[in-house]
């Protein structure tokens, strides 16, 4: 099997005096350095930078990028992340000068094309949500959660109500309680029942007049649609509380059911999952939010609005708004990709996206469940959560071992050990963009791994430059800076 | 410490009562489930605990988990060795790996806590 050695660091490749360009001698008369920069303002020694040729640097980064896994190189069934193929067309369009060369400080009358796109995107996202108003500002899904909860808080404040709690199922993404806490609420955990759905009894016992919002991901993180959603919404609304839908799993329900029809009052989208925004890299991202009409006054300002003459403007005159959550109108490059994706699929295409995502996940589930049991549910939506608990008990093969071994087979690992309600969890989401061949090859690989020598699996991966990093050490004493043993000035953080 | 005398909360914390002071920790089963531990947050001496409410957090490579007080009372001692090096728990979750000592309200441990037999039965069910 092909194995890359980790390339040396740029600092380690440095050779004194090596550089890229040999400059000809200057035909301009020289001036003394003291005339240009007085000695008092000059460093005594050059900065400790590596000295390399251009080719050294190009090879370094190209080789590093070659040891990366991405959706463009490998199957990537990373559950909850919806690692589907992002059409290159959207990338090309997003980099066109009409969008990419605009500046937010331009006069509004020179930004009409961009504003028209954003205005339409607000309308599309409202329609898909079955809700009334949209803010494109939040820069990520988690910020969308936070902005939505701030909207909810502003709504209750406006009504003179003091509500302190946000209820969150134990299967939720960790961002939910984090957002609730940041927005000033107490996060209260609701148990899942034996079927992996919201435990109604626990929900009823915790729902009270202090409850502001219930945050639900539906379908949830175990890949199940909670059919109790109508009841949950009714119980909440009877108490004057709001239903929030975490849109992380929208890829399962586009065009099939709308959050607003489920009773949701507010929600966020993850365009990088659902609408072909770029994955990973830490951003820039987008996390648009949609709300019911009575919450619209509190949305972050400005919104993109339309004048009577058909032109577009940024509407800042929103006195009840929670204010800005992001500069200008959000990360327009990501939003534009979402726009392109929605426009190129169309309503029927979006529905097909979800139908195929669900079909692919169920096909895969059927291929592997006799070896990788799925404790919750016999069918799934866009993803399923298998458990390696039996294998761990009988053979000492844990979810982590399977995940690591998949790398040797040129497959990205699924999400492991999440959600927390399934022991030894392997959370698998194939997405709609994979062929039947790929699904079958993946299933065959999973079944083969289950038969392998546990000792070999404990040492996997065998083909990657780095096999198993020491996660505890990395978390406790991370090395955040390169340190030259001979130079010692910049330390290793611990 | 007689391990058979420990009493357990359903969330896997244990308590051991001696002279009005409850020593509190988390079970070996819980430590094994959490896998590789990274750090632990424990309350300061003097903190008032309420049974069933969280009193700290333990972070592993898998997750951050709340620690729930099995008893109500006031923290009178914190195991600094564990606070400094949470991996001690993996070696010994009981004698060396206790977390805090609590001066309890009342004279006995809450009756809802499980005895050793009931807890071992629960653990056996959870791992099957």
pLDDT in tens, A458-476: 999 998 888 998 888 888 8
Helices (H), B8-65: 28-34
Predicted confidence (pLDDT) per residue in A409-437, tens digit: 999 999 999 998 899 999 999 999 999 99
Residue A492 pLDDT level (bands cut at 50, 70, 90): very low
As separate numbers, helices (DSSP H) first and strands (DSSP E) second, chain A gives 18, 12
Domain ranges of chain B: 3-104
- Mean pLDDT along residues A311-327: 96
Q: Is the pLDDT of residue A479 over 90?
A: no
Separation CA A123–CA A134 (nearest Å): 7
CA distance B82 to chain A (A): 14
The CATH fold of domain B3-104: OB fold (Dihydrolipoamide Acetyltransferase, E2P) (2.40.50)
Mean pLDDT of chain B, nearest integer: 92
All residues of chain B having their beta carbon less than 8 Å from the beta carbon of residue A389 are 127
- Mean pLDDT along residues A134-143: 96
According to DSSP, the residues that pair with B13 across neighbouring strands are: B26
pLDDT of residue B95: 92
Of the ranges A15-24, A316-325, A458-467, which is most confident? A316-325
Hey, is the C-beta of B18 within 8 angstroms of any chain A C-beta?
Answer: no
Count of alpha carbons within 13 Å of B82, Cβ hemisphere only? 28
- Collapse the DSSP code of A476 into the 3-class scheme (helix H, G, I; strand E, B; otherwise coil) and give the result: helix
pLDDT of residue A65: 85
> What is the predicted ipTM?
0.72
The torsion angles phi and psi of A360, rounded to 5 degrees, stand at -60, -45
Contact B38 A417 (CB under 8 A): no
Predicted confidence (pLDDT) per residue in B36-45, tens digit: 899 999 999 9
pLDDT of residue A8: 83
Q: Is the pLDDT of residue A315 over 80?
A: yes
- Mean pLDDT along residues A62-78: 90
What CATH number labels A88-344? 3.40.640.10
Sign of the C-alpha dihedral, residues B46, B6, B62, A425?
A: negative
Separation CA A268–CA A300 (nearest Å): 13
Separation CA A68–CA B51 (nearest Å): 48
Residues ≥6 apart with Cβ < 8 Å to A151: A266, A289, A291, A295, A298, A299, A300, A322
**Backbone region of residue A353 per phi and psi (left: phi > 0; alpha: psi in -120 to 50; beta: other values):** alpha
All residues of chain A having their beta carbon less than 8 Å from the beta carbon of residue B83 are none
Tokens for A481, please give them: 């800076």
State whether CATH 3.90.1150.10 applies to domain A347-476: yes
State percent of chain A over pLDDT 90. Answer: 80
Q: Is the pLDDT of residue A64 over 90?
A: no
Domain ranges of chain A: 1-20+47-68, 88-344, 347-476
Count of alpha carbons within 13 Å of A375, Cβ hemisphere only? 20
Hey, is the C-beta of A22 within 8 angstroms of any chain B C-beta?
Answer: no
Count of alpha carbons within 13 Å of A67, Cβ hemisphere only? 16
Mean pLDDT of chain A, nearest integer: 93
Separation CA A265–CA A154 (nearest Å): 14
Residue B106 pLDDT level (bands cut at 50, 70, 90): confident
Predicted confidence (pLDDT) per residue in A164-216, tens digit: 999 999 999 999 999 999 999 999 999 999 999 999 999 999 999 999 999 99
Minimal Cβ distance to A476: which of B33, B38, B64 = B38
| Alpha carbon B53 to chain centroid, angstroms | 13
Q: Say if CB A210 and CB A163 are below 8 A apart.
A: yes
Predicted confidence (pLDDT) per residue in B38-67, tens digit: 999 999 999 999 999 999 999 988 788 899
Q: Say if CB A429 and CB A77 are below 8 A apart.
A: yes
Contact B61 A472 (CB under 8 A): yes
Q: What is the pTM of this model?
A: 0.87
- Mean pLDDT along residues A77-87: 94
- Mean pLDDT along residues A330-357: 96
Of A45 and A447, more confident = A447
pLDDT of residue A491: 37
Minimal Cβ distance to A471: which of B33, B61, B87 = B61
Contact B127 A393 (CB under 8 A): yes
The torsion angles phi and psi of A196, rounded to 5 degrees, stand at 85, 10
| Alpha carbon A66 to chain centroid, angstroms | 23
Q: Say if CB A283 and CB A277 are below 8 A apart.
A: no
pLDDT of residue A15: 93
Interface probe for B, chosen from A188, A191, A390, A472 (most Cβ of B below 10 Å), is: A472
As separate numbers, helices (DSSP H) first and strands (DSSP E) second, chain B gives 4, 9
Residue A97 pLDDT level (bands cut at 50, 70, 90): confident
Q: Is the pLDDT of residue A5 over 90?
A: no
State percent of chain A over pLDDT 70. Answer: 97
Element (H, E) at A391: helix A389-395
All residues of chain A having their beta carbon less than 8 Å from the beta carbon of residue B33 are 423
Contact B63 A420 (CB under 8 A): yes
Hey, is the C-beta of B127 within 8 angstroms of any chain A C-beta?
Answer: yes
Residue A488 pLDDT level (bands cut at 50, 70, 90): very low
Residue A485 pLDDT level (bands cut at 50, 70, 90): low
All residues of chain A having their beta carbon less than 8 Å from the beta carbon of residue B59 are 475
């Amino acid at each position: 099997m092909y194995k890359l050695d980790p390339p040396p660091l740029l600092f380690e490749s440095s050779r004194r005096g090596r550089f890229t360009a040999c400059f000809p001698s200057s035909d301009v008369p020289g001036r003394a350095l003291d005339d240009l920069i007085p000695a008092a303002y000059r460093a005594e020694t050059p900065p400790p930078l590596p000295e390399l040729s251009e080719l050294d640097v190009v090879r370094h980064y190209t080789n590093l990028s070659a040891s990366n896994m991405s959706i463009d190189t490998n199957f990537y069934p990373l559950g909850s992340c919806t690692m589907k193929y992002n059409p290159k067309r959207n990338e090309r369009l997003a980099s066109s000068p009409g969008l990419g060369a605009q500046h937010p400080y331009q006069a509004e009358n020179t930004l009409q094309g961009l504003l028209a796109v954003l205005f339409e995107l607000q309308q599309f996202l409202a329609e898909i949500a079955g809700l009334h108003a949209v803010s494109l500002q939040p820069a990520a899904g988690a910020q969308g959660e936070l902005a939505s909860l701030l909207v909810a808080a502003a709504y209750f404040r406006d009504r003179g109500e003091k509500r302190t709690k946000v209820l969150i199922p134990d299967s939720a993404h960790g961002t939910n309680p984090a957002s609730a806490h940041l927005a000033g609420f107490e996060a209260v955990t609701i148990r899942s029942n034996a079927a992996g759905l919201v435990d109604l009894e626990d929900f009823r016992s915790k729902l009270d007049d202090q409850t502001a919002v219930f945050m639900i991901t539906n379908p949830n993180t175990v890949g199940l649609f909670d059919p109790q959603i109508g009841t949950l919404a009714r119980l909440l609304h009877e108490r004057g509380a709001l239903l929030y839908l975490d849109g992380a799993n929208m890829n399962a329900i586009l065009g099939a059911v709308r959050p607003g029809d489920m009773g949701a009052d507010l929600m966020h989208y993850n365009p990088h999952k659902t609408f072909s925004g770029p994955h990973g890299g830490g951003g820039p991202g987008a996390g648009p939010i949609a709300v019911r009409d009575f919450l619209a006054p509190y949305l972050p300002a400005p919104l993109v609005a339309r004048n009577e003459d058909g032109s577009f403007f940024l509407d800042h005159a929103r006195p009840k708004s929670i204010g800005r959550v992001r500069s200008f109108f959000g990360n327009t490059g990501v939003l534009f990709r979402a726009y392109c994706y929605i426009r190129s699929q169309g309503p029927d295409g979006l529905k097909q996206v979800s139908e195929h995502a669900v079909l692919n996940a169920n096909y895969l589930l059927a291929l592997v469940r006799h070896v990788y049991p799925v404790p919750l549910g016999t069918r799934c939506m866009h993803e399923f959560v298998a458990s390696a608990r039996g294998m761990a008990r009988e053979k000492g093969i844990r979810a982590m071992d399977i995940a690591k071994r998949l790398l040797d087979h040129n497959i990205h690992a699924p999400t492991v050990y999440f959600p927390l309600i399934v022991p030894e969890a392997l959370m698998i989401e194939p997405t709609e963009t994979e062929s039947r061949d790929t699904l079958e090859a993946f299933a065959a690989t999973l079944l083969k791994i289950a038969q392998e020598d546990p000792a070999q699996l404990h040492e996997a991966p065998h083909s990657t430059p780095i096999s198993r990093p020491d996660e505890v050490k990395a978390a406790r004493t991370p090395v955040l800076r390169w340190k030259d043993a001979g130079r010692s000035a910049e330390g290793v953080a611990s | 410490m007689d391990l058979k005398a420990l009493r357990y909360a359903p969330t896997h914390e244990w308590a051991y009562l001696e002279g009005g002071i409850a020593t509190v920790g988390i079970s070996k089963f819980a430590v094994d489930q959490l896998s590789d531990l990274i750090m632990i947050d424990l309350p300061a001496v003097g903190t008032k605990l309420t049974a069933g409410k969280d009193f700290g957090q333990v972070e592993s490579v898998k997750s951050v988990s709340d620690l729930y007080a099995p008893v109500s009372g006031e923290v009178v001692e914190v195991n600094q060795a564990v606070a400094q090096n949470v991996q001690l728990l993996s070696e010994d979750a009981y004698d060396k790996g206790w977390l805090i000592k609590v001066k309890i309200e009342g004279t006995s441990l809450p009756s809802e806590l499980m005895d050793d037999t009931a807890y071992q039965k629960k653990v056996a069910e959870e791992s099957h």
